[in-house]
Amino acid sequence: MTKSQDSVFSEILGTIKSCLPLESEEFNLHEPLFCGREWEYVKECLDTGWVSSVGKYVDKFERMLEDYTGSRKAIAVVNGTAAMHVCLKLAGVEVGDEVMMPALTFIATANAVSYCGAVPHFIDSDFATMGLSPNKLDDRLREIARIESNQCVNRITGRRIKAVVPVHTFGHPVEIDSLIDICKKYSLTLIEDAAESLGSFYKNKHTGTFGLFGVLSFNGNKIVTTGGGGAILTNDEDLGKLAKHITTTAKLPHRWAFVHDRVAFNYRMPNINAAIGCAQIEQLPVFLGNKRNLAEKYKKAFDRNKYALFASEPSETRSNYWLNTIKLLEPYAKMRDHLLDFLHDHGVKARPPWQLMNMLQMYRDCPRDDLTNSELICASCVNIPSGAELAKNSQIAGE
């Protein structure tokens, strides 16, 4: 490493650490914060024996999600990947269909498409949102799509294009209005991957409530966690009831008989996990406030940094700032991996974005558009410590 690189890295490290608690020596990327009634609710599950897939906390958690997001129906499931799988199935995605999605995403988005026997079709992202680009999607569809019997067909591959799955990357809402217009124009179903964006709003409406379905994740690194877990959001009451039915093995209600009326999935969230989720949702406003305080500190600090920019929420949105992100300026982007080593060596557990889906062996042959923006974002961005517990001089949950 040259002296000039060391100087750049030291200034970036100093900018990050200036926003973090002085008493700590090591900073993880994102940790869960348990400062509410988690122990009380879990203890009740243990005391009563209701720890598995039946119990009051699953229903309570679903109602809390509905109240917070404004969605008519929320269905708690075992994880976000399972939630996306069910959404795609209920949206009518079938074997051989294509699903338009960003190349810049966590692998679960593409995997859920594959579970349906369908084919991911990768589209570029925008710099401002780091999510699916409406202009790039529209250009791609204008180039390859034709409408036959009110269905969109890829005239190059001959496959039906059934759905569009945007991702609210790192919690920042995509430009969803434009995507809705494109989906209407090409007879496509919109399913939002809002796994990272609980607490994020686009034009004062919660993410995950614009499409036919939305998906949430409650993995241990999310803003609200149930240990593992996910949820389906929908404003279609009938589809919501069907989603609940097929994620709970399609068992018909009966006092003692086991009768199931279709092939379905055992994707149920256990009651003990939902209990944690209920306590976490109660703390969500505090988590969001703490994370916004931290993001504001980062933004002000990086306004004075010559080597990197802080990724702020896009216009007309309110982001949960799930993972704070800096974008290295040229020519420093080429040093990104060396910077990551440097930060880890000095106690800052930063990470890069996910590897682009088209670069993974199992998805290399999938159809894709030009991905110039995605490649630049992937090469130049670094996620930095973002946990709600890291905000200094702010109210901490439970105080």
Q: What is the pLDDT of residues 143-199, one digit of tens each?
A: 999 999 999 999 999 999 999 999 999 999 999 999 999 999 999 999 999 999 999
Q: In the CATH scheme, what architecture does the domain 38-280 have?
A: 3-Layer(aba) Sandwich (3.40)
Residue 41 pLDDT > 70: yes
Count of C-beta atoms within a 10 Å radius of residue 157:
14
- State yes or no: pLDDT of 393 exceeds 60: no
In the predicted structure, residue 1 carries a pLDDT above the cut 50: no
Torsion angles phi and psi, residue 351, rounded to 5: -150, 160
The pLDDT tens digits for 114-150 are 999 999 999 999 999 999 999 999 999 999 999 999 9
User: Residue 54's pLDDT is what?
Assistant: 83
pLDDT average, residue stretch 306-317? 97
SS3 327: strand
pLDDT at 3: 52
Residue keyed to tokens 């966590």: 106
**Cα 170 from chain centre:** 7
Confidence of residue 396 (pLDDT cuts 50, 70, 90): very low
User: Can you give the pLDDT at residue 104?
Assistant: 98
pLDDT band at 218 (very low <50, low <70, confident <90, very high): very high
**Mean per-residue pLDDT of the chain:** 95
Q: Following DSSP, what letter does each residue of 294-331 receive, concatenated?
A: HHHHHHHHHTT-SSEEE-PPPTTEE---SSEEEEEPTT
Angle (nearest 5°) at CA 221 between 333 and 274: 160
Q: Which CATH number fits domain 3-32+283-390: 2.60.40.1180, 3.90.1150.10, 3.40.50.300, 3.40.50.150?
A: 3.90.1150.10
- pLDDT for 399 beyond 90: no
As a whole number, mean pLDDT of residues 91-119 equals: 98
Mean of pLDDT values over 58-75: 98
Q: What percent of the chain has pLDDT over 70?
A: 97
Residue 395 has pLDDT above 80, yes or no: no
SS3 assignment, position 126: coil
- Among 47-56, 77-86, 117-126, where is mean pLDDT lowest? 47-56
Q: Give residue-wise pLDDT tens across range 243-288.
A: 999 999 999 999 999 999 999 999 999 999 999 999 999 999 999 9
- pLDDT for 351 equals 97
**Residue 280: what pLDDT?**
98
What does the domain layout of the chain look like in residue ranges? 3-32+283-390, 38-280
Give mean pLDDT, residues 95-109: 98
Give me the mean pLDDT over the 85-102 stretch. Answer: 98
> Torsion angle, CA of 303/306/310/314, rounded to 10 degrees?
80
Strand order in the sheet with 324-328: 308-310, 324-328, 381-384
What's 31's DSSP letter?
-
Full-model pTM: 0.95
Name the residue type at position 118: A
Confidence class for position 77, pLDDT limits 50, 70, 90: very high
The pLDDT score that the predictor gives to residue 20 is 94
pLDDT above 90: percentage of residues in the chain: 93
